[in-house]
Amino acid sequence: MNTTKDIDKLIKETLSEEEAKFYDQLEEQNIIEMIFGIFSGKNKWVNILMSIVQVLFFVVFVYCAIQFFKTEETNELIKWGVIGAISIMASSLLKLYTWMQMDKKAILREVKRLELLVISMQMK
């Protein structure tokens, strides 16, 4: 017995046709849908900007890594190593921001599902 499917069936039975369509949009998403899902909504411009900045930091890291392996002077090694380390850390932190946004949207979807479940149980 799959309780999730039973709950989904119960919710769809008690909702109107329009509400059932909305409920279908709240289904679990795969990773690709989650990634592109952060580029929608009120804060899509912030997420687009963060993604661009993240890519720029990664490009800086790759450039620093190339320069690091090209040089033979100790001071240059330190300079390129530090700049590269800072840029990869910044890129990683921005990646964490993106993952938190994906998680936030998944949690909001589940809260909406719970709200619909509560509404459908009250209607019954």
Q: Is the pLDDT of residue 70 over 60?
A: yes
Contact 87, 56 (CB under 8 A): no
pTM above 0.75, yes or no: no
Burial 107-124 (b: 16+ CB within 10 A, else e): eebeeebeebbeebeeee
Nearest CA to 97 out of 58, 64, 49 is that of: 49
Q: Is the pLDDT of residue 60 over 50?
A: yes
Distances (CA, A) of 42 to 36, 37, 66: 14, 12, 39
pLDDT grade, residue 1 (50/70/90)? very low
Q: Is the pLDDT of residue 22 over 70?
A: no
| Separation CA 47–CA 60 (nearest Å) | 20
Contact 20, 12 (CB under 8 A): yes
